[in-house]
Structure 1
């Protein structure tokens, strides 16, 4: 096997064996604590621009199948594992992780001490990394990392270019694609929703002309403050329709309502994060993937109510608007991968739509009587 190096911006060097593509690549090095679900992780658009470390020691044992993709074109920059399974065993398996990454020009490196790497990230926060050949000079790599600046257009790169429709006979939903996982679309179509998927930069006027009964704000990569057009769009629709936000969509809803966001030291990425619902006084296990969070103290000056918090660090996991039918969560209720404890939030979204429609009819009826 060909030897390759992972070089972090602090000078730490890990040497391992190459798999997948052989190209050189840089990106933000993060870790995911999931024991399974590597295919969904590889194809999650929220990992755009990132090099993902899997903390579970063996990856690839059940291969890659045709059913568990979260997008058509993966955006992950590279994969780091302790041990890669070359011969997967599963009745659904169609190819190995190596073959999948090679076909999509994504490099990987195995044989890395992922426990040590994860501890470095936990202690010092996420940092830039570079995967190169074993012969590549470390000092040259560090200079290259020093001059590498993180791109701010991740959402633009992963969002759909043109709108498209997934027909259904149920509620009319406009889904704003900031880097949508297919799991979100599956949950809506499972409930027979008529879904129109639109690009991230669609204006409030364009969305409202579609006469949606509800608007879904999806997950996506990067800093929510890098998508100002989406923040303005949400301001223009929040008093006119029902809104449900997930992950990046949650952060964008908070910003549109006057709250603030900040970058976490090493983020939340995995399928085992406990969240407490403050309204129902229940705790759920959730699937998460985010590097930014809503500042809890900034909610005090808004019309938003804190509804859920992370039990690990107390960060904001859910909010709802006190006046308008809008709510959001930081985690992924569609799981993929992960537990489906909070899958009922999609049902709650549809119930909110129906409740809002009843209120609208009553208000119109009152206006008609006055006339």
Structure 2
């Protein structure tokens, strides 16, 4: 079988990115050329790139946040890269720090922090540590498919439950139901809140936009399972992509509320760094007739550019279309009686620092 050009842009079944361009920190660029002997295989018969997970030893796992438009102060991400393959993921450019591509590499060449629980225990045990809710999944999804094997999110939750440390989770995978035993117990002590991301109810669109995430209807069922178990759950309609999935906003909010979600939030599409090119490639392949219209509205919400990093507007956009989205969201939330995510104050007073790991074990 002839080799596959990893940099060529074409649709790959089960993957979100259409190509594998070099990251912005790379000084060398590769470009394949066809020699006339069909050395480039660019059709759906090409072998699909497999997911590779490499373990890494983290020196720290809690990251601090001081961005004024983000609600949490602390975050934890068990994995680098995400097999869900969401083409819109704002975390894709972070793979450049590993000398890997924000394209296919981001969803196929993953890093698992194998010592996560050990390092987290040490950080929580520090004398000067001040507890505040830790968000799990701020960058990559903690319940992406590889979590079934590696169970790093589960390990983090077990430690947080042991220490009575509050946390929030963000996911678009029904695998969160696996940990209902831990989550229900933590919820009983006001230590956890879960947010499920649902930005469309169209299974066909989701299969292309976020190919390895749980189907939208399955995420709605996960919301119902969490709510039934007594776990506070909210829905995030994120990201909203104009002229692509924005028409589903009200329907998502209606179904999520019926399933048990009691708070809601939304963000608009963000295209930092290499993500601009990757998303345009995706549009050309999967929505060519509306590609120009989508990008025109995206630019209207970003002051004429593909992306504006201003903290005041990057999450919700600016301009007429952004105002319309905000009005629609507010009306739908009032209709269904949604509260705000910040209305639930998780309990930090119960926190008990863990003992540091010791080769002598527990003698007393």
TM (norm. structure 2) is 0.38
Higher strand share: 1
Higher helix share: 2
